[in-house]
Each structure stands twice: as C-alpha cells, then as structure tokens.
Structure 1
Amino acid sequence: MLHTPLWKRLLIWAAVVLGLVLASPNLFYARVESHNDAQSAIAKSGGTATAEQEAAVASWPAWAPSSLVNLGLDLRGGAHLLAEVQLADVYKQRMDSLWPEARDALKPAREATGGVKRAQSPDGTLRIAIANADGVQAALEALRPLASPVVSLTGAGSSNYDIVADGQDIVITLSEAEKAATDARTLQQSLEIIRRRVDAAGTREPSIQRQGADRILIEVPGVGSAEELKTMIGTTAKLSFNTVVGTTQDAEANPGPGNILAADGEREGLYFILDATPVVSGDNLVDAQPSFDQNGRPAVSFRFDTTGARKFGEYTGANIGAPFAILLDDKVISAPTIQTAITGGSGIITGSFTVEESTNLAVLLRAGALPAEMKFLEEKTVGPELGQDSIDAGRTAAVIGLVAVAIFMIASYGLFGVFANIALLINLGMIFGILSLIGGTLTLPGIAGLVLTIGTAVDANVLVYERIREELRLAKSAARAIELGYERAMSAIVDANVTAMITAIVLFYFGSGPVRGFAVTLFIGIITSVFTALYVTRLIIELWINRAQPKTLVV
C-alpha cells in the first residue's frame, strides 16, 4: 500500500484549501470590489459612511477573505502615457540657483575683479562677466570652493561643476558625472511624485516605470481618458516666493539677467519682474491643506519646514514695506506688501479659488512639484468595453485549452487522466489564490501565461505516468510502480521546471508592463503545477489505490 505521513497529507491539503479559499472572492468580483472600495472610502473619511457604503460593506462577510486579483489596463480599461522628462530644465534651475552663491563668493575679491555681473548664456550655463580682466584668476580661485565631489557611485572622484575662464568671463557648467547623477535623481523624484499624485486620486494598481534614460511609462487602470491622466500628473503646482523687482504692462519686456517676467494671475495686462531665484520654494513645504481666509473665501494654508521657516522669517524681517510675489506655476497669484516679519513658518494662499480648486491645489502641493517639465510622446486610452472584450477572449481561450487538455489526458490515461484534470483545476484555483494574496495584477499577457500553464501543467503528470507504465511492464506491483514512477520522474520534472522558472525570472527582470505580467503568471503557474502534479495528484491516486485496491493497474 502507498502511504504518505499524516503530517504531510495535512500540510498538502491545507495548502490546497488555503489557495482555493483565497481565490474564492474572484468568483464574486463586482460584489467584493464594491465592498473593498466602500471600506477604503470609509477609512479615508475618518469612519463616516453613507447608506450606500454601509450596504456595500455588508454585501460581503467580514470574516471572509476579500483580496482580489487586480485587472490590468488592457482588461479594465484606462489610460497609457509615455512621458519624456525635460532634463535640461533641471540644469537651468541649478545654474539659476547657483548665481547668488557665486555672487556672494566673489565679494571678497571685488577689489581685484572690479565688479561682476551675470552675462547672457545658454540654458544650463552660468556665465559671469568680470569687469577687470586682471581679476579673472582671482575670481576663479574664489569660485572653485563652490565645486564639491559628485554624490554617486559612478561619479566618485569627480567635481559637480566645471569652472573655466573664457576670455574676460568665467563659465560654470555641470560636469558630465554630475549630469548623470542629476538625471538619475530627477527621474527617481519624478517617479515618486507621479506615484503620489496617482495614488492620491484613488486609482487601482497603477504601473509607473522608468524607461530608458529620460522616459517614464505610466499606465493607470480605471482612468477615463489619457487627457484626464495628463491633467492628474502634468500639473506641476510649482510654488515659490520671489522678490519683486518691478512691474510692467509690456508682455514682451526684457526682465534682464537673473530676472523673470510673470503674469498677474488675476489682473490681465499686468506683469511682474521678479528675481529668478526664489526666497523660499515649494520644496520647503511640509503640509498644505484647503481652508478659508478671513473673508470666508476658499484658500490654501501651508506650513514650511525648519529651513524654509528660517529663510522666510529672515527675508520678511529684512524687507518690511517691500512687496514680494507668491508665484504658482509661473503666475503671480498674490503680491502682498510685507507688514512685519513672518516667523511662524506658516501662511495662507488666497486667490479666486473654488472649494474644489483649493482642495486640488492642496493635494498637488503636498505631492510636491515635478522637478522638470514632461513632454508626452505617446498616449492611449483603453475603453472598458475593449477591456471586457479582452476578458471574454481570454476566458474563451482558457476554457478551450482546459477542455482540450482534459480530453487528451482522459483519452491517453483513462482514470489517471481524470486525476490529472482534477489537479489541473486545483492548480488554476491556487494560481488565482496566490495572485490575490500578493495583490498581483492580471493582464492580457497574464491570461496568455495562464493558458500556457494549462497546456504545460500536465507535463509532470505525463512524465510520471509514462514512468509508471514502464515499471508495470517490468511486472512491478501497482503500489510499487506508482512509487517508483514518482521517484524516477522527479529529476526530469525538476530540471524542466527550473529552466522555465529561470526564463520567467529573466523576463520579469528585463521586461516591463505586459511582459512582467506574463512572467509573474508563468512563474506562479510553474510552482503550483509542480506542487499539484507531484503531491496533490499523488494523494488522489493514493486514496484511490488504498480504497479500491485494484488487482490490476491500467495507466
């Protein structure tokens, strides 16, 4: 008689039951999804629930698992964007912010230089004109301490700035090593900000990945259109507090080196000339919340970090009676006169906001400003109807594959083929159970991985059954033939599936988007296929052998 230790049998059946229980919520997808959405909405509102939300929560038992397999963009519908980060913008910002430091560093050498000013130069370059040609070398010596080692593994030993003399000017640019490090930081920062903005909108399972040197792939299921997604992530909400140099009504006025021209957000035809280097930027914000001003109009309250509060307090204390501009997305939304030093580190942004606009602005400010503009190279909207068509097509393919494999196994191995088909159904259930447990996303290529799993899942059973047939031809008893069949087929099964797992790992590591979805489903399918073929099928056969005790065995 075949005998598997009790502890092993219990462990195997426990794994099977757990996998099927975790997969069961997917049979009631719409109900469980509405239950989960209602729970999430109630949690965000601080525990307040509407009647509809309470009904949705009650539609699924609290004790039952509620994790679902998330549907990808191609199955649920949604928006796809490929964006190119304009890295040159960051180089320009670095040089603009470096000018005040360079000016301060040159003050001790004023006698030798005869005075300095910022000269016109391409974006990403800081050109400083030296009044006295004999003072160029002294200026170089004063500016060299501004350079510091590059903070990156690949740029070790390099300086972040290249500072060279060009005639009577000094030219400062970012070094190649610093550009590479800056590019990496900018892409990472953009990824995090986009992810925070998308998450704040309550979307499901977005896919946000870096592609190449300067591109980001964004796929968000459930969003109505690519335009909606662009609005969600493309708004920079770039806030800064700048010194007012002057005003003009000429939209084409030249603000001069180191200055910028910004339109008034409320009064048409009025433009402010501002110092390009902000006193405090949105990077120093630690919180922003929708609120109301003293007149009951919608506004946004904000709070600076310690550094921002100190800078703002020092500036307002030294410039009482002077105006300063609150600049939001290159428009002046307010230009109040400083009445007293603002040392508390907090303030309020007022303007012609609606309640919805002030709420959205607060969300964008909390998420942070994108470090550089993004140019959208590719955009695509997948409608929910097309997604449903994909689901239907995938379901049809899976059913056809399952039926074909079942017929083949029964025709080839009779009752043992039935056992293999039972294990195949358990295998599919366990795949969905694991995907639900890990919060995996099922895409159309993922369905292809499922169909492939159906076709290959019985490979291990075929190897075992053929070995059993060989042992029966050698006149082995039924129990002994089965035992030897599993033992001697083990090495071939392991070899075949290990190579397939390596392929899935490589696809996941080097692939992106749909390719990763295929790799994840394939990898999980390999594990569950081996488990069901070597352990579940054997237990089923063992139960049958020990109960039926057949005199002859036909495989």
Structure 2
Amino acid sequence: MLQIDAWKRITIWLTLLVGLTLAMPNAFYTRVETYNDAMQAIELGADTTENRDAASVWPDFLPSGLVNLGLDLRGGAHLLAEVQLDDVYAARMDSLWPDVRDVLRPERATVGTIRLQPSEPGTLRVRISEEAGMARALELVRGLAQPVVTLTGVGAQDLDVSGDGNDIIVQLSEEEKRATDERTMQQSLEIIRRRIDEVGTREPTIQRQGADRILIQVPGIGSAAELKEIIGTTAQLTFQPVIGRTSDENDAPGIGNELLPSMDEEGIFYILEQAPVVTGEELVDAQPSFDQNGRPAVNFRFNPSGARAFGDYTAQNIGNPFAIVLDEEVISAPTIQSHIPGGSGIITGNFTVEESTNLAVLLRAGALPAELSFLEERTIGPELGQDSIDAGKIATIIAFVGVLIFMALSYGLFGLFANVALILNIAMIFGLLSLVGATLTLPGIAGIVLTVGMAVDANVLVFERIREELKTAKGPARAIELGYEKALSAIIDANITTFITAVILYVMGSGPVRGFAITLGFGILTSVFTAIFVTRLLIVIWFERRRPKQIEV
C-alpha cells in the first residue's frame, strides 16, 4: 500500500543531489568569486600567471554559479541620471542643414542665395534672398519630412516647416519629439547596460524613472565616481571635414562650422564643418591595437552604409585633411592619402594601453545619444552591506530554529522528517538562485524567511490529516497514504495562489520587489517538492525498515 516506485526514488534523490551541488559554491563564496573573476579575465585575453593561480582555487569540474548579492548587501554605487533630451533635437537640426542646402541649390534661380542663420537650439533657420520663391522653398523643404514611426503618430510628419519673411524655419513636430524622446531613452538604457556589462559587473539595476531619468545601481563597484567614469562619457565619435586650424580659441568659425580643440596639440584648435561625414553610430566594431610605430591605437570598422559614405568621401578628398573627433575634441586630423574603400581604419593619438582599451569599449558599446546629468549619487559601503547580511542571517536563523523546534515538539519523529526536508528546501532555493544567476537583496532574504514559515505548512496539513485518518483507517500505512492523498489538493491550491501572487509581483514590480518575488516563487516550488516527495520518501523508508504496528503523530 505505502510504496514508491524505484524510478521515482532515484528521480527524487537525483533532484536533491543536483540542487545541493548547485548550492554548494555559495558555501565557499569568496573562493568561487575569485575563480570566476580569474576565468573571465583569462577569457578576455589576460592569461597571466596571477590569473591562472587565482583560477586554481576551485576545481573546474564543479559548478561555479553564485547567488549574486544586491546593492544593499554587497555595497556599490547608486546614480540617478537625467537625459538631456533637448540636445538630441539640436543635433538633429544641425545634421539637417546639408540636406536643406542640397535640396534648395537646384532652385537658386527661384529662391536666390541660401544662407544658414543663427538660431536657438532645436531650430534650423535658413535665409533665402528671393522672398517671391518662399512658396517653392517651403514646398521643397517639406519634401524632406518623413512619417513619424510610432503607433500614436500615424499620419504625422517629423518636421514642422514654416516661413518668416525671407527665413525658412524648421523644427521637429510634437509627435516626432515624443517619438524621439522614447527612442532616446530606450537607446540610453541599452547603451548604459552594455557599457556596464562590458566591464563585467554583476547584476546591475538599470531602469527608467519618469520621462527623462534613469536609475543605475551597480553592486560591488568601488564608488559613484568610478561608475560615472564608465557610463558618463558620451563617446560621440565623428569624422568631419577640416576647414582650417588656428591657435586662437576666440576665432569665429563661421555659420555651419565649429571650433574644437586638439587633444594632442596644446593650444591648437580646428575649424570643422558641423555636419559629420560619418558618425560612431555606424561603427560595428572597435578593438584596441597598436599602430605601425608600436603605439596604442584603436582599430574600427563601419557598417555597409558608413563604409560607403567613408569611402566616397575619401575618394573625393584625396590630399585634404579630415578630423577624427571624440566628445568635441580632435583626436587626430590626418591627410587623406588615398581612397579607403573597406570601411575600416585606425584611430591614433597619445593613448596609453588602458586608454585605448577603454576607448574601444566605449565605441563598441555605442555612443550615448544625449548627455547625462547626474542628479543624485551615492556610494554604499561594504560595511553597511555586511550589517544587512548579518541582520538577515540572524532573522533567518531565528525563524529557522523556531520552526524546527515547533515541528519537533508538535509532531515528534514525523516533525524531524519535516525538519530534514526544510533544510534541503533552503539548500535547493540557493541552488535555483545560483542556476539562474539571480540577485539576492534584503527583500529577497525576507522572501526566504517567509518560505521557511510556509515550507512546513504543507507538512502540517499532511500530518494533521494523518492524525485524523489514524482514528478511522485500518493500520498506519493506510493512514499515511490517505493523509497524503487527501491533503494534496489543499496543498496545491494554497501554493498555486501564492505562486500566482509571486508572478504578478515579478511582472509588475521592479528592483527589490522582483528580488522578493523570485525567492518567494522558488521557495514555493522547492517547498512543495520537499513536502510532497522528500518527506514522504523519508517516511516510507523509515516505515519499510521498522514496520510499526502503531504510530504517533
């Protein structure tokens, strides 16, 4: 009557073994973390003696997944950044000037001369000399407008074009501004995430707050200043035509041009056309390397459209200089010696190896579409994190010991079986967290503490049902069997509703709420497994060996 098939027993023991094996690295946290860092460095090319020695502290055949500690447990950096969306509008209008000029040039007989006028950021003002040609000019410029690519902006155009005397005024439409804001925020989030991932930090929290702000929390990083160095640089790379150079920073570059300093030559400034030939957005790869003189440099490669534009420009401007500009500084201004058709090249300058590596990381991750202003920055020290861990440990131990004592006093030997299952349950929770690389936070510890209390709930239902069946059933074996059968529906119903709650918290919540939901959801899965299968298996093994005529629960 009270039997479990051999294949079921093997499956239960194998599941427990896998869970305990996955959880084991957390018992040697510092050693395994050192091993993981060393292996990552070796994979990235730093195959040094120090890294190989560090990698030898943990066997390769054992799992090395760890439960990542959140910002509140490990310490780290917290930033709240505001994206300067107006900068995107201004850059968009600056890049539109060559298109407006080119579309009006064939109609000079009608519109007269075409001149770019000073205007406020986010507005393009172009003056024509023949006011009678304004209608034709507006028609041509409006032809540059494109449909807004959003569901809410269907039918709208991205440009508002109007006339004011002899001036053509071009601005982004309100629908396009909303679409641009959304694209800019999504791009900023993705680029920040890629930059942080490039340097190997663990489980950062990067999420949008409000219309134009981004919350960034990175555990394990030294300071907020260090985090700002990783993400604060826009890494805007452009290739721009050179008009001239000067040593006077007060020289007027002229409308449509800009004056930028040289990175290598102190006191030298370059006059460049504002509209770039190619931008860093068209880069597909950037790697640190060395130039022909053995100095650190960065190799780059464009996508097909960037390669075509770069190749056409170099073919048409052999003998002319062009500037490589990074974040409004001219890295170098080489003279074009020949046509460069392949869409690849090299950036040289007075770099150190570390600087060339960092530049390659920034370029590979992509340029931030707009500047970030940091409104709030905090560094959470590891001491505070350790205090949180200690407090969490104390809470968990008190809850754990209290439940163990209660079960042992209430249900005797059966309570001890439930206690063994509870210990295995906690280990399996850590095994699952390690398997998925989840982050443990203080709310996550609260979820584990709650699971400790809930984990014995299923056993309580079963044991109370067995007590009832002992009064009517024929023998202890039948009582145990009926106890599990009749309590099963109540156990499943109760845990399914709680699991649905955990899923909703995970989907709708963010940050610490998700951490709580993950540990709660995993705890429900493991507690149901240990209560229905593990505890029952322990009771069956005991019953098969002792064959008692009577049992007390």
Give matches, 1:391-540, under 5 Å: 391-474=389-472, 477-540=475-538
Q: 1:471 to 1:295 in 2, by over 3 A?
A: closer
Quote the Cα distance in structure 2 between the aligned partners of 1:106 and 1:140.
10
Give matches, 1:255-270, under 5 Å: 255-270=253-268
Question: What per-residue deviation string (whole Å, max 9, x for no partner) do you get for residues 167-216 of structure 1?
Answer: 44333222333223322322222222222222222222323233333222
Partner of 2:188: 190
Give matches, 1:379-390, under 5 Å: 379-390=377-388
AA aligned opposite 1:515: V
Unaligned runs of 5+ in 2: none
Quote the Cα distance in structure 1 between the aligned partners of 2:488 and 2:153.
50
Q: Is 2:73–2:386's contact at 8 Å kept on the other side of the alignment? A: yes
Give matches, 1:169-318, under 5 Å: 169-318=167-316
Q: CA deviation at 1:343?
A: 3.7
Quote the Cα distance in structure 1 between the aligned partners of 2:413 and 2:15.
24
Quote the Cα distance in structure 2 between the aligned partners of 1:349 and 1:21.
49
AA aligned opposite 1:45: G
Q: 1:134 aligns with which of 123, 129, 132?
A: 132
Is 1:57 matched up with 2:55? yes
Give matches, 1:313-352, under 5 Å: 313-352=311-350
Quote the Cα distance in structure 2 between the aligned partners of 1:507 and 1:166.
55
Runs of 4+ in 1 over 6 A off after TM superposition: none
Q: CA deviation at 1:226?
A: 0.7
Q: Is 2:262–2:268's contact at 8 Å kept on the other side of the alignment? A: yes
Q: Is 2:475–2:549's contact at 8 Å kept on the other side of the alignment? A: no
SS in 2 for 1:336: coil
Quote the Cα distance in structure 2 between the aligned partners of 1:401 and 1:130.
80
Greater shift, 244-253 or 203-212, is seen at: 244-253
Greater shift, 512-521 or 190-199, is seen at: 190-199
Q: CA deviation at 1:500?
A: 1.4
Q: 1:362 aligns with which of 360, 363, 384?
A: 360
AA aligned opposite 1:164: S
Quote the Cα distance in structure 2 between the aligned partners of 1:157 and 1:487.
63
SS in 2 for 1:457: helix
Q: Is 2:388–2:442's contact at 8 Å kept on the other side of the alignment? A: yes
Q: CA deviation at 1:415?
A: 1.7
Is 1:157 matched up with 2:166? no
Q: CA deviation at 1:78?
A: 1.7
Question: What per-residue deviation string (whole Å, max 9, x for no partner) do you get for residues 117-145 of structure 1?
Answer: 23333322223333322222211221222
Q: CA deviation at 1:412?
A: 1.8
Q: Is 2:38–2:55's contact at 8 Å kept on the other side of the alignment? A: yes
Quote the Cα distance in structure 2 between the aligned partners of 1:28 and 1:298.
40
AA aligned opposite 2:23: A
Q: Is 1:299–1:348's contact at 8 Å kept on the other side of the alignment? A: yes
Quote the Cα distance in structure 2 between the aligned partners of 1:258 and 1:32.
57
Greater shift, 514-523 or 209-218, is seen at: 209-218
Unaligned runs of 5+ in 1: none
Q: Is 1:458–1:533's contact at 8 Å kept on the other side of the alignment? A: yes
Quote the Cα distance in structure 1 between the aligned partners of 2:89 and 2:210.
19
Partner of 1:16: 16
Q: CA deviation at 1:40?
A: 2.1
Is 1:74 matched up with 2:72? yes
Q: 1:219 to 1:477 in 2, by over 3 A?
A: same
AA aligned opposite 1:448: A
SS in 2 for 1:158: coil
Q: Is 2:262–2:330's contact at 8 Å kept on the other side of the alignment? A: yes
Quote the Cα distance in structure 2 between the aligned partners of 1:20 and 1:268.
62
Q: 1:49 to 1:324 in 2, by over 3 A?
A: closer
Quote the Cα distance in structure 1 between the aligned partners of 2:350 and 2:41.
29
Q: 1:171 to 1:292 in 2, by over 3 A?
A: same
Partner of 1:552: 550
AA aligned opposite 2:509: G
Q: CA deviation at 1:525?
A: 0.5
Q: Is 2:35–2:54's contact at 8 Å kept on the other side of the alignment? A: yes
Partner of 2:101: 103
Q: CA deviation at 1:49?
A: 4.1
Greater shift, 137-146 or 117-126, is seen at: 117-126
Quote the Cα distance in structure 2 between the aligned partners of 1:130 and 1:318.
29
Q: Is 2:128–2:167's contact at 8 Å kept on the other side of the alignment? A: yes
Q: Is 2:68–2:438's contact at 8 Å kept on the other side of the alignment? A: yes
Partner of 1:5: 5
SS in 2 for 1:260: strand
SS in 1 for 2:143: helix
Q: CA deviation at 1:220?
A: 1.8
Aligned length: 553
Q: 1:317 to 1:540 in 2, by over 3 A?
A: same
Q: CA deviation at 1:9?
A: 2.4
SS in 2 for 1:4: coil
Quote the Cα distance in structure 1 between the aligned partners of 2:322 and 2:27.
60
Question: What per-residue deviation string (whole Å, max 9, x for no partner) do you get for residues 434-476 of structure 1?
Answer: 1111111212221111111112211111222222222234455
Question: What per-residue deviation string (whole Å, max 9, x for no partner) do you get for residues 13-70 of structure 1?
Answer: 2212211121112112222222222222222227x341x4333333323322222222
Q: CA deviation at 1:278?
A: 0.6
Q: 1:292 to 1:14 in 2, by over 3 A?
A: closer
AA aligned opposite 1:146: L
Quote the Cα distance in structure 2 between the aligned partners of 1:254 and 1:462.
83
Q: CA deviation at 1:510?
A: 2.1
Greater shift, 504-513 or 180-189, is seen at: 180-189
Root-mean-square deviation over aligned CA pairs: 2.3
Quote the Cα distance in structure 1 between the aligned partners of 2:411 and 2:491.
19
Greater shift, 540-549 or 516-525, is seen at: 540-549
Q: CA deviation at 1:247?
A: 4.1
AA aligned opposite 1:108: P
Quote the Cα distance in structure 1 between the aligned partners of 2:267 and 2:66.
55
State the TM-score, normalizing by the size of structure 2. 0.93
Q: Is 1:109–1:142's contact at 8 Å kept on the other side of the alignment? A: no
Quote the Cα distance in structure 1 between the aligned partners of 2:474 and 2:113.
102
Q: CA deviation at 1:527?
A: 0.9
Is 1:35 matched up with 2:28? no
SS in 2 for 1:352: coil
Q: CA deviation at 1:425?
A: 0.5
Q: CA deviation at 1:399?
A: 0.9
